[in-house]
Structure 1
């Protein structure tokens, strides 16, 4: 297929582009390089089956030209603001970068008769709950602007899928870690320790606990869902049954960096406005389909730390 990957120069998008190319597809990446970077796709630039376009999805006229020239078979829409802290400080960030980008992509798909779409969603749409999260859990009450932007996107994708016959695959990501990441707890801890190697300040009490998934497991899971489900509208949680505490991540980072740093906690049960202290997925739906993550949460975290440190 000829595939458009939005946000394809980003952390997850670049890994997905690698996988799609390995399967024989022609891949066009559109990225404004706000969070993505050319270094993530530098090994792809000279390929005959790959094209990079630096453009902002909010520029609708430019995006329409890309669709007009592209004649795409499918769109993988990953472009969004993925920095929840940044979005909490400025609500317009997620309104524009998470929701309006999605709406523009949908408009172009409708106008240019593209009938297949993958959408990268998130656990943040579920909000703050201690229940085990199934795909039909509700009511959905996100507590971050990022989660709200993704949930609004899912709603419009559902409507466009029904109204215009767009076959859709949505996977809801947990916390994703691995090489090429640009933010997140591991990234923050490493950079803090590089600046102050004797003390690591941890936001919250360190008891925050979530499932972490290695990025290569994630992109393989995305493709597994797209290849093995055939309804008009398909939604799956992706993740690991295990979870990792923030204090465990801090200890692993200190260990892998060979330091003897003291951990100091700022207190409270969360790190910032919009942070969810814990969540757990019900993965029975994706497991019944035959997919399981190759790495558990702790292994994913440690592997990501090692990759970030060049080990």
Structure 2
């Protein structure tokens, strides 16, 4: 099996690469290293288990490298929800345009299968929680969520127009070792700078689902057994945790029992923040996969791993 992974030096991508290499697959990683780090996959590159092309998907010269691939995992994206409300252009370019260019390269080089990492934010402020894959209407409230939904539409159109197959995974909050953004890394960074006080965006009552990254990768590969033209799966845990509880876990793991919490106030932590999110994972559970960890356990494990790194 010849797999291509865009964004393969990033957080989820590097863990996926670890698993694909362990399975004995031929792996090509395409990453600009704008957000990813070469050292996350350096041992595979140095051991000739992975070919690495450092380039931007918005440029040219990478397309011929995917010739002969069996499957392309497209994880490269601009993941910053908050920044997309300040400067939308990088999100538009790195998500929508980059995905279009990937699809065109696949069409021209006859790569038959695409795996795309989408997001729970495509659902917006869902009225049904846990939210199933067939929930409608999809009304994202962030530019980031809108960009991912646009990518989903492009992928569907290419599958039906050009005979490709696709797996679209709508993620809950994925956490763990090598993560470079998100609430846990934000709290750790703030507490290292000021161990006496922690600023928490919003009122701390936002509740969301969290899943540890190794379980996420396992679910991604498990769901490849579905063989429709376009396969959409939610991937997350079966519960949720509030932001204040995450802060308490991080402070506990950093041995800071006296830290003071300071809330910025409001239901949303930032523009585009969804205050309540839990995905229904009944579709993937019906195929006999379910997570072993809940949100609280995933957050604690991720905190410990990040503090060790």
Aligned to 1:62: 61
Question: TM-score, with normalisation over the residues of structure 2?
Answer: 0.97
Verify: 1:183 aligned to 2:181, yes or no.
Answer: yes
Q: 1:239 aligns with which of 236, 242, 247?
A: 236
How big is the alpha-carbon RMSD for the aligned residues of Structure 1 and Structure 2? 1.0
Distance (whole Å) between structure 1 residues aligned to residue 292 and residue 229 of structure 2:
28
Q: How does 1:30-179 map to 2 (within 5 A)?
A: 30-59=30-59, 61-67=60-66, 70-132=67-129, 133-179=131-177
Task: Provide Cα deviations, 1:109-128, integer angstroms capped at 9, x if missing partner.
Answer: 00111111101011011111
Shift of 1:170: 1.0
Give CA-to-partner distance per residue, 1:50-88, whole Å, 9 cap, x none: 1111000001x3232323xx4211100000011111222
For structure 2, the residue ranges without an aligned partner over 5 or more in a row are none
- Seen in structure 2, the aligned counterparts of structure 1 residues 179 and 149 have a Cα distance that, compared at 3 Å, is same
Contact kept in structure 2, 1:63 and 1:108, CA below 8 Å: no
| 1:130 positional shift | 3.6
Matches of 2:164 and 2:64 in 1, distance apart? 20
CA deviation profile, 1:29-62 (whole Å, cap 9, x unmatched): 0001111111211221112231111000001x32
Structure 1 unaligned segments of length 5 or more: list them: none
Instruction: Supply the distance in 2 between the matched residues of 1:122 and 1:219 (Cα, whole angstroms).
Output: 15
The number of residue pairs the alignment matches comes to 307
Report the equivalent of 1:215. Answer: 213
Q: Distance in 2 between matches of 1:187 and 1:15?
A: 18
- Distance in 1, matches of 2:211 and 2:46, equals 30
CA–CA distance in structure 2, aligned partners of residues 176 and 13 of structure 1 = 12
* Greater than 2 Å deviation, 4+ residue runs: 63-67
Q: Which moved more, 1:32-41 or 1:8-17?
A: 32-41
State how far apart, in whole Å, the 1-side matches of 2:113 and 2:162 are: 11
Please give the secondary structure, in 2, of the residue aligned with 1:35. coil
